[in-house]
């Protein structure tokens, strides 16, 4: 695979209205995945993209899609869409839709977004006259198709985003149902942070002679993050967390727990201790989730407590720290969690609070990332006993109550949370890139 070096967006053959929108956002430098993917997509090649969130992935597919639609000047057919972008969560759907609107603001492009957890009336009305671009979650999409509000038989471009998360959430069969409804001739874009065998098989069935673009493999995304582990007895974890927040440099922090109830308890505990906090997970209403995220973005709350299924898909600028209040029992979840900080080349810190039952999980994580995580013994609750444990038994897997489930058909299911850039930001706006919009 040839790596392309493109220093400026001006060097990409994108239509002038798109170049103008990108410039107005203050970006001149494409991220690596944008450099590699956009030229191939402008040529109409199917693409298999292996990339984490925070790499500028959305712009990598949104910009060439907008270029294609802008050149065609084709009016959408009622109850049809020319482009379908399938994503795992409603939060990510909203973000991707927003990106298309921002980058396509100087084009006459009609966009819509559909997801579960809210009434469908407004979404149905948005589809009546047809749309150019539809961003959707699987459950709501299939519901609307079943009810006759949408057809996919004239689709031109199909984007499957975060395919591995779709697998985690049980969406592979719904995705296959969607693919069966698509016309045989179409442009396919497939993105996944990891490539387990079921995802490889799905990609093989969907893509035709694809170009493969790969950036930031799982084990290397953690290299720029300052990671540490604090060994602490289980009943002192809350005391340690409160102590950590006495450090004012923890200004915008995502705290991870394994369960929804755990997230609520930690958020309430932080709030009572003087650290404004809120929880986000699958049992929260859509309005409560959006309110918590907005408060986190604007700095009204200092800590957002989240579950694993709330770990990806949320774009929040300036996350300075990620704290694993509970260590994930799946090593790759650790990588996804800490990737909420140190976004788009900025710095960030990840702190893990590890008790004796989680010691085996830390060993698994270190094997995955091929790196020994620094032990912070300076904290007041350090436990030599836990630090020196060897051959610890692996606990039974935690019940997947942490983040809810996906959008099963007709159900209200959520997810999400994606952090953003690290503690610093570039002082020169012109040097920024489109990584901030994923």
217: pLDDT confidence band, cut at 50, 70 and 90?
Answer: low
Range of the domain at 90: 9-216
pLDDT, average across residues 47-68:
90
* Same-domain status, 379 and 297: yes
| 438, part of any domain | no
pLDDT for 303 beyond 50 = yes
Instruction: Please name which of 105, 63, 92, 97 lies closest in space to residue 81, comparing C-alpha atoms.
Output: 97
Query: Tell me, what CATH number does 127's domain have?
Result: 3.40.50.300
Predicted local confidence at residue 164, as pLDDT: 87
- Please provide the average confidence, as pLDDT, over all residues in the chain: 84
User: Is residue 188 located within the same domain as residue 234?
Assistant: no
The answer to whether residues 86 and 226 belong to one domain is: no
Would you say residue 359 has pLDDT above 50?
A: yes
pTM: 0.63
The pLDDT of residue 287 is 76
Predicted pLDDT of residue 9: 86
Same domain for 281 and 411? yes
- Whether 18 and 116 share a structural domain: yes
Please determine, for residue 271, whether its predicted confidence score (pLDDT) is greater than 80. yes
Mean pLDDT of 78-103: 94
Structural domain contains residue 134: yes
Q: Is the pLDDT of residue 40 over 50?
A: yes
Closest CA to 216 of 366, 339, 37, 371: 339
Q: Give the pLDDT confidence of 318-357 residue by residue, as tens digits.
A: 899 999 999 998 887 888 888 888 765 567 899 999 999 9
94 and 109 co-located in one domain: yes
Q: Which of 2-16, 112-126, 343-357 has the lowest mean pLDDT?
A: 2-16
Do the domain assignments include residue 355? Answer: yes
Is residue 2 in a domain?
A: no
pLDDT tens digits along 234-267:
999 999 999 999 999 999 999 999 999 999 999 9
Give the pLDDT of residue 71.
87
Who wins on pLDDT, 66 or 197?
Answer: 66
Under the banding of pLDDT at 50, 70 and 90, the label for residue 222 is: low
pLDDT given at position 5? 57
Q: What is the reported pLDDT for 393?
A: 55
274 shares its domain with 339: yes
436 in a structural domain: no
Greater pLDDT, 5 or 233? 233
Of 216, 244, 266, which residue constitutes the final position of a domain?
216
In a domain, 4, yes or no: no
**172-186, 199-213, 388-402: which has the minimum mean pLDDT?**
388-402
Domain count, the chain: 2
Decide if 343 contacts 419 (C-beta within 8 A).
yes
* 246 and 162 inside one domain: no
Same domain, residue pair 136 and 165? yes
Q: What is the mean pLDDT of residues 109-128?
A: 95
Percent of the residues in the chain that have a pLDDT greater than 90, as a whole number: 59
CA distances from 383 to 96, 168, 349, 393 (A): 44, 34, 21, 18
Q: How far apart are CA 160 and CA 195, in angstroms?
A: 14
Give the pLDDT score at 174. 94
pLDDT of residue 392: 56
Same domain, 267 and 187: no
Residue 93 has pLDDT above 70, yes or no: yes
- 182, 216, 250 - which closes a domain: 216
Pairing state between β 348-354 and 253-256: unpaired
Q: Which of 200, 216, 232 is the last residue of a domain?
A: 216
Mean pLDDT of 5-15: 82
Residue 125 lies in a domain: yes
| Statement to judge: residues 198 and 247 lie in one domain | no
One domain for residues 239 and 378: yes
Is residue 3 in a domain? Answer: no
> Is residue 218 scored above 80 in pLDDT?
no
CB 255 within 8 A of CB 89: no
């Amino acid at each position: 695979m040839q790596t392309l070096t493109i220093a400026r967006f001006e060097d990409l053959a994108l239509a002038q209205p798109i170049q103008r929108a990108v410039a107005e956002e203050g970006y001149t430098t494409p991220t690596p995945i944008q450099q590699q993917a956009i030229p191939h997509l402008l040529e109409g090649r199917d693409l298999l993209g292996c990339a984490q969130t925070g790499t500028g992935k959305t712009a990598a597919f949104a910009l060439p899609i907008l270029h294609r639609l802008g050149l065609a000047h084709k009016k959408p057919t009622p109850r049809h869409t020319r482009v379908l972008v399938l994503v795992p969560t409603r939060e990510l759907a909203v973000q991707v839709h927003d990106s298309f609107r921002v980058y396509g603001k100087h084009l006459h492009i009609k966009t819509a977004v559909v997801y579960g957890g809210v009434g469908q009336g407004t979404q149905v009305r948005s589809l009546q006259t047809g749309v150019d671009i539809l961003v959707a979650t699987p459950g709501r999409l299939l519901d609307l198709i079943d009810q006759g509000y949408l057809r996919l038989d004239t689709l031109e471009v199909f984007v499957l985003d975060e395919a591995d998360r779709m697998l985690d959430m049980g969406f592979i069969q719904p995705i296959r149902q969607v693919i069966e409804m698509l016309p045989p001739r179409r442009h396919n874009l497939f993105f996944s942070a990891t490539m387990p065998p079921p995802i490889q098989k799905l990609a093989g069935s969907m893509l035709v002679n694809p170009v493969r673009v790969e950036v930031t493999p799982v084990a290397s995304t953690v290299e720029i993050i300052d990671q540490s582990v604090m060994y602490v007895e289980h009943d002192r974890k809350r005391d340690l967390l409160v102590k950590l927040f006495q450090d004012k440099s923890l200004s915008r922090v995502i705290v991870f727990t394994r369960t929804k109830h755990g997230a609520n308890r930690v958020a309430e505990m932080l709030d009572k201790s003087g650290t404004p906090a809120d929880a986000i997970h699958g049992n929260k209403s859509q309005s409560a989730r959006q309110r918590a995220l907005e408060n986190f973005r604007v700095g009204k709350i200092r800590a957002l407590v989240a579950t694993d299924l709330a770990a990806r898909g949320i774009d929040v600028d300036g996350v300075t720290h990620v704290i694993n209040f509970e260590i994930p029992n799946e090593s790759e979840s650790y990588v996804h969690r800490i990737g909420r900080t140190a976004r788009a080349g900025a710095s960030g810190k990840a702190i893990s609070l590890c008790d004796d039952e989680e010691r085996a999980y830390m060993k698994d994580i270190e094997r995955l990332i091929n790196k020994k995580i620094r032990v912070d013994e300076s904290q007041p609750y350090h436990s030599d006993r836990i630090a020196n444990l060897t051959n610890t038994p692996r606990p039974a897997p935690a019940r997947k109550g942490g983040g809810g489930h996906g959008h099963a058909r007709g159900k209200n299911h959520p997810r999400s949370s994606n952090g953003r850039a690290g503690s610093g930001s570039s002082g020169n706006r012109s040097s920024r890139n489109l990584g901030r919009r994923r």
